[in-house]
Structure 1
Amino acid sequence: MTTPDLDLTSAPAARAASAPGVDRTVRTAGRVLVGVLFLWAGIDKVTGWQGALQEVVAGGFPLPSVMLALTVLLQVAGGAAIVAGRFLRAGCWALAGFILLATVPYHGFWHATGAARHAELIPFMEHVCIVGGLRVVSTLETRRA
């Protein structure tokens, strides 16, 4: 059934939602939120260095102090790049690769059963979603000088 007198595309809300300024604001807000996630994570590791170091050790990575320092550098630099809108593609791709490499050893839900499986599956899927968000952000225009 059609209703020819109902045109949702010309409604004021539809026009406002598709306005270039609104679109730009939404994209900028999304980009900044994604970047802040990584800035926060990197700063949190610095302020809680010993706890973060124990996590790296638990992951079985070689040279845990070096790995943690590289992780902090990547998260802070990548997050700052995303927030600033500079080196956007490189920052997003580097962080996406990092997440994929770190998620497998830390959230291997396929090795668990029952409640433990579910407890690992949720953060695994959250990280997959973050990678998806990074892919979307990587396609945004970078800031002009």
Structure 2
Amino acid sequence: MVALVHTLGFVLLGGVFVWAGAEHFLKFTTIVAQLAERQFPAPSLLLAAGSTVETVAGLCLATGVARPYAAPALIAFTVAASLMALNFWRYSGPERQGLRSAFTINIAVLGGLILAATADPH
């Protein structure tokens, strides 16, 4: 039973990244325009690379393939994406509040990824 619950946890956590990465590819042009507006360097390359890591590592985490590598990759991705895209400290008003909420959620996601990275594979 415990193994089933752990598997479900990995599927849910990895699935969030697969979903988000796939959505980024489906809305690629719109998101690239948003990143360019916020003056991100090489927004197309940045989005493609980040979404690829997100999708592939999310699939690995969810399926158990290369899980010891997938969780740290997603940790690095989440930290980088949070610092670059959810920089609430540069904004005010409702935009600041929304970005801060997303940033805070990512802190919880990092907690789950740390647990996944240190989980006993047996």
> Normalising by the residue count of structure 1, what TM-score does the alignment of the two structures yield?
0.75
* Structure 2: runs of 5 or more not aligned: none
Q: For residue 55 of structure 2, what is the aligned residue in structure 1?
A: 76
CA contact (8 A) 1:59 1:105 kept: no
Q: Does 1:107 align with 2:97?
A: no
Q: Identify the structure with the greater helix proportion.
A: 2
Q: What secondary structure does 1:140 align onto?
A: coil
Q: For residue 65 of structure 2, what is the aligned residue in structure 1?
A: 86
Q: For residue 31 of structure 1, what is the aligned residue in structure 2?
A: 10
**C-alpha distance in structure 2 between counterparts of 1:66 and 1:116, whole Å:** 26
**C-alpha distance in structure 1 between counterparts of 2:101 and 2:19, whole Å:** 21
CA 1:116–1:65 in structure 2 vs 1: closer, same or farther (change >3 Å)? closer
**C-alpha distance in structure 1 between counterparts of 2:14 and 2:84, whole Å:** 24
Q: What secondary structure does 1:119 align onto?
A: helix
Higher relative contact order (CA 8 A, sep 6+): 2
Q: How many residues align?
A: 122
Q: CA deviation at 1:140?
A: 2.2
* Structure 1: runs of 5 or more not aligned: 1-21
Aligned residues: percent identity?
A: 25
Structural RMSD (CA): 1.8
Q: CA deviation at 1:67?
A: 1.1
1:2-45 deviation digits (Å, cap 9, x = unpaired): xxxxxxxxxxxxxxxxxxxx211111101100010011111111
Q: Does 1:52 align with 2:31?
A: yes
CA 1:79–1:59 in structure 2 vs 1: closer, same or farther (change >3 Å)? farther
> Normalising by the residue count of structure 2, what TM-score does the alignment of the two structures yield?
0.87
Q: CA deviation at 1:59?
A: 4.1
Q: For residue 21 of structure 2, what is the aligned residue in structure 1?
A: 42
